Amino acid sequence: MSSPTAFITGASSGIGRACAAKLAENRYQLVLLARREEKLAELAAELSKTPVHIIAQDINDRPALDSAIAALPAQFSNIDVLLNNAGLALGLEPADQTDWDDWQTMIETNCTSLAFLTRKLLPAMRARNSGHIINMGSTAGTYAYPGVNVYGASKAFVEHFSLALRSDLLGTNIHVCNLEPGLIAGTEFSNTRFHGDDEKAALVYQNCEPLLPEDIAEAVHWVVSQPARMNINRMEIMPVCQAPAGLAVHKA
């Protein structure tokens, strides 16, 4: 039997990388997309037993992405699992003090490019009447906290897009899941959020035990391994050290 194919965005580090390793272990062949070619090549070398096709480019360069999809080698052209993992948070300032470019980058990456890639790969899934789309949401899409503004809103988009996709796909065997991790270490998330400030990023994970990318990779593998009759609409995962934020009341 031929290997199923998983297409993973943001594959060079963190959750994407861990998912690539987990799926490779479970006989998937991989299409890996990320900007950093050397990181992708390193990962492909590590997964030497797994056929890997690398797409080294910015996910927001949509014409290039379109061409890369059209140029997928025949062996990798039937995508069984699309893991829309690429995404980022930039800044944690109150809304009136944020950088407009940061907001635009988050909307572009977390919403527009995710929708674009899904739109591109969906017709082939529908034609084959099978497939899994796993979108990397976040607990921040459900629970607001100070400074989460556009990042949280972009993840709320991802959640609603996932649920809406399932509605459009009712009657097909295409599965859609919004996977919603909370606090997670071992990724570049906080470092990116704080624009490369390692000290600030380290403080986020101090004195607690956050999730790890491998935890999310387990969840991804579990989601795609369930009987075809099952669809996991949403999966929210927090570390035990985190809980949904309480409502805030400001008293003068």
Q: Which stretches of the chain bind ligand 8X3, using CB under 6 A?
A: 138-140, 182-183
Burial zone of 180 (CB within 10 Å; 0-12 exposed, 13-18 middle, 19+ buried): buried
Pairing between strand 81-84 and 234-237?
A: unpaired
Distance in Å, CB of 150 to ligand 8X3, minimum: 13
Give yes or no: 151 in active site: yes
Distance in Å, CB of 171 to ligand 8X3, minimum: 32
Distance in Å, CB of 139 to ligand 8X3, minimum: 5
3-state SS class at 215 = helix
Burial zone of 1 (CB within 10 Å; 0-12 exposed, 13-18 middle, 19+ buried): exposed
**d(C-alpha 186, C-alpha 75), whole Å:** 32
Give the tokens for residue 158: 């991802």
Distance in Å, CB of 76 to ligand 8X3, minimum: 29
Q: Which of 28, 143, 145, 151 is catalytic?
A: 151
According to DSSP H, which parts of the chain are helical?
Answer: 14-25, 37-46, 62-70, 100-106, 114-128, 149-168, 189-193, 198-204, 213-224
Residue number with CB closer to ligand 8X3 (16 or 182): 182
- Report the Cα 11 to chain-centroid distance in Å: 9
| Packing angle, helices 149-168 and 114-128, rounded to 10 | 20
DSSP state of 214: H
Give the tokens for residue 53: 């096709």
Distance in Å, CB of 174 to ligand 8X3, minimum: 25
Residue number with CB closer to ligand 8X3 (121 or 217): 217
> Among all residues, whose Cβ is closest to ligand 8X3?
138
Residues annotated as catalytic are: 151
